[in-house]
Amino acid sequence: MDAATQTLPLTVDLRAEYESSGAREVLEELDADLIGLEPVKQRIRETAALLLVERARKSLGLAHDTPTLHMSFTGNPGTGKTTVALKMAGLLKRLGYVRKGHLVSVTRDDLVGQYIGHTAPKTREVLKRAMGGVLFIDEAYYLYRPDNERDYGQEAIEILLQVMENMRDDLVVILAGYADRMDTFFSANPGFRSRIAHHIDFPDYSNDELNRIAGHMLGAQNYTLSPGAEVALAEYIGLRRSQPHFANARSIRNALDRARLRQANRLFLADAGPLDAAALSRIEAEDIRASRVFSGGLDSDRKETAA
């Protein structure tokens, strides 16, 4: 037995490693910042456990292999995919999987050029910025456009695949988008499917979860709902989610922004003299019910997309 082997510990306390690594803080932040998404949170906890065990095996001198952590996040817009990717980057840094723990979020336009010779440097520059952290590619299926012979997305795909294989111990790539389109993308690009070890589906939020999310958003900005506004918001959520282009938490955030706009206009036009903090912070039912949703219209003419 050589000197190096003799200095290795005989046991490892996984719980102590968990506490000292800072992983607990990241997972607690995930629980605090995101309502619902229990299947997603469970997968993140399982990933943390895997990395803790791999780190423990390394410290005991056992054979270990760097796990492949490239991921696919599928789900509708506004279900927290970008937020979870950011938390994942921090978790990977705490557990020693990546050096920096930052998140670089991109779309096709950041990777693919419009003329010959433009795509490779664009893609490599993005990868350079992401190295040591997590590269999040939103709506990744737009990289592949087989119907356009002059499209350069395939060049970006080939560079990404090479780096994902050769630099997997210093970069995690997360592909995100709608589930059906991602399935089509993986079918057309088997190289990606073979390199993605973790496929995580983000479910839509329930009405109750959306109500809680709204309360969380308002509380963070020191706003409150009157009893009548609480009833109106619950009705709004039920109506809005049945309309086209509903984007889960993003649609709720947009609705609250519009309610705050109406509240500010109502208070200004009322010209009721000095207002206290409660009046300035309270959303009333009329601020919610002024939405076109209650008359059968769309609350926003803008298509709400992305993760």
CATH number of the domain where residue 74 is located: 3.40.50.300
Q: What pLDDT is attached to residue 277?
A: 95
| Residue 250: predicted pLDDT | 94
Q: Does 256 lie in the same domain as 110? A: no
Q: Identify whether the C-beta of residue 34 lies closer than 8 Å to the C-beta of residue 86.
A: no
Look at residue 58 in the predicted model and tell me its pLDDT. 85
Q: Where among 146, 176, 202 does a domain terminate?
A: 202
2 pLDDT above the threshold of 70: no
Which of 148, 178, 202 is the last residue before a domain boundary?
Answer: 202
Which residue has 């980057």 as its token pair?
Answer: 89
| Residues contacting 262, CB < 8 A, separation 6+ | 286, 287, 290
- Same domain (yes/no): 197, 268: no
Rounded Cα distance between 132 and 5, Å, is 30
46 with 206: CB under 8 angstroms? Answer: no
Mean pLDDT of 103-124: 93
The residue among 236, 244, 247 whose CA lies nearest residue 294 is 236
CB atoms within 10 A of CB 259: 26
Residue 183 lies in a domain: yes
pTM to 2 decimal places = 0.87
Average pLDDT of span 25-47: 92
Residues 105 and 213 in one domain: no
* 229 Cβ neighbours under 8 A, 6+ residues apart: 259, 282, 283, 284, 285, 287, 288
What's the pLDDT tens digit per position in 56-82? 888 888 877 778 899 999 999 999 999
Q: Is residue 233 part of a domain?
A: yes
For 26-36, the pLDDT digits (tens) are 899 888 889 99
pLDDT at 209 over 60: yes
Asked if residue 227 and residue 115 are part of one domain, the reply reads no
Please tell me whether residues 278 and 147 are part of one structural domain: no
Q: Whole-angstrom Cα distance, residue 155 to residue 151?
A: 9
Question: Are 159 and 276 found together in one domain?
Answer: no
User: Is 305 among the domain residues?
Assistant: no
8 and 33 housed in the same domain: yes
% of the chain beyond a pLDDT of 70? 95
Considering the domain architecture, whether residues 42 and 27 belong to the same structural domain is answered as yes
Strand, coil or helix: 117:
coil
Question: Domain count of the chain?
Answer: 2
More confident residue, 282 or 116: 282
Query: In this structure, are 178 and 272 located in the same domain?
Result: no
Confidence of residue 306 (pLDDT cuts 50, 70, 90): very low
Question: Is 159 part of a structural domain of the chain?
Answer: yes
Domain identity same for 14 and 56: yes
Question: Is residue 222, in this structure, part of any structural domain at all?
Answer: yes
Distances 67 to 55, 172, 229 between C-alpha atoms, Å: 11, 11, 49
> In CATH, what number is assigned to the domain containing residue 226?
1.10.8.60
The answer on 195 and 66 residing in a single domain is yes
Other beta carbons less than 10 A from residue 38's beta carbon: 10
State pLDDT tens for residues 146-159: 777 778 899 999 99
- 229 and 177 within one domain: no
Pick the closest to residue 107 from 159, 153, 170 (CA basis).
153
- 219 is in which domain, residue-wise? 207-295
Overall average pLDDT of the 9-34 stretch: 87
